[in-house]
A = this chain, B = another copy of it.
């Protein structure tokens, strides 16, 4: 199961000086889970290591071991080694520091590459799986309950708790291994998903009233007006995941969440695919990006109607019967 030592393991083993781990903006469970697992492990190995997230640690991840050691701003101006985890490059990491040698550990497609020590594998279900490989290739006995909990959180949340299409045999094998090392599935689920606010429930109620179907039921979506947040006391963070409601409806191929962001003068759109439609291409038409099943864009529009029209034309373009290439 464990292959020969990874080049990155050898590199980090020999690395002298300070190490900074950074992740992407608005970090999710895999970003902070894999970042903190690596941080805890490198500390154990006696390294002078730090971890930073410019947006801090969101409430639903504050249970992660080491969460209180995450810096909002890097402490120093220079680090000998900079490791970006779960992000396509330092440009998304929002870290303005200078770094001697950059390394990337990630499962996203594309982005920046920094050389032979990168550990980038888009076939991995989560960046946590790559950090696990790194740790195992360096020291197969180094896993402990704290590191296992961080890695499990990354794996579980990035696979939608083992429900998305990136869940395979190896995903379950890794989950089994992490549980055997002390990760507690129910604890992670409860801390991550069951500390919601009453305000968020009120927001869901309001938002579901806007649910509408288009294109004979192939497209479904919800709209979040800025005043919904004001009226319910919910936060912008609470809009995360609302796109899953229209997605869950039978027959829907494309689901959207259209979110008013008046302070930026745009409407943010999140897209999800169920089945064969490629929502990455829809987002590209709108100047955004992403992949086949999940994507996003920002639409400039002066009204909800205008934003929705722009969105639906881009969707229709993609739903058109494709001509077969000759």
Query: A residues near B, CB below 8 A?
Result: 156, 160-165, 167-169, 172-173, 175-176, 179-180, 185-186, 189-190, 193-198, 201-202, 204-206, 208-209, 211, 213, 220, 245-250, 274
**CB of A56 to closest CB in B, whole Å:** 18
**CB of A38 to closest CB in B, whole Å:** 23
- Could you write out 24 A-B pairs with CB less than 8 Å apart? A161-B162, A161-B163, A162-B162, A162-B175, A165-B186, A167-B179, A169-B180, A172-B172, A172-B173, A172-B175, A194-B247, A195-B248, A196-B249, A196-B250, A197-B249, A198-B211, A198-B249, A201-B246, A201-B249, A204-B205, A204-B208, A205-B206, A205-B211, A208-B208
Residues of B within 8 A of A245 (CB): 201, 204
**CB of A49 to closest CB in B, whole Å:** 30
Complex Cα spacing A133 to B198, Å: 43
Residues of B within 8 A of A161 (CB): 161-163
Residues of B within 8 A of A249 (CB): 194-198, 201
Residues of B within 8 A of A179 (CB): 167-169, 172
Contact assessment for B176 and A163 in the assembled complex, using a CB-CB cutoff below 8 Å: no
**With A161-B161, A172-B175, A209-B205: A250-B185 Cβ-Cβ less than 8 Å:** no
Contact assessment for B201 and A208 in the assembled complex, using a CB-CB cutoff below 8 Å: yes
**CB of A160 to closest CB in B, whole Å:** 8
Complex Cα spacing A158 to B46, Å: 43
| Across the A-B interface, the 3 shortest Cβ-Cβ residue pairs | A205-B208, A172-B176, A195-B250
Contact assessment for B164 and A186 in the assembled complex, using a CB-CB cutoff below 8 Å: yes
Complex Cα spacing A220 to B195, Å: 13
Complex Cα spacing A204 to B274, Å: 22
Which of A172, A190, A247 is the most central at the interface, judged by chain B CB atoms within 10 Å of its CB?
A172
**CB of A213 to closest CB in B, whole Å:** 7
**With A195-B250, A247-B194: A189-B175 Cβ-Cβ less than 8 Å:** no
| Residue of chain B at shortest CB distance from A204 | B208
Contact assessment for A167 and B196 in the assembled complex, using a CB-CB cutoff below 8 Å: no
Residues of B within 8 A of A163 (CB): 161, 185-186, 189, 193
**CB of A199 to closest CB in B, whole Å:** 10
Which of A163, A193, A246 is the most central at the interface, judged by chain B CB atoms within 10 Å of its CB?
A163
**CB of A234 to closest CB in B, whole Å:** 12
Which of A156, A186, A195 is the most central at the interface, judged by chain B CB atoms within 10 Å of its CB?
A186
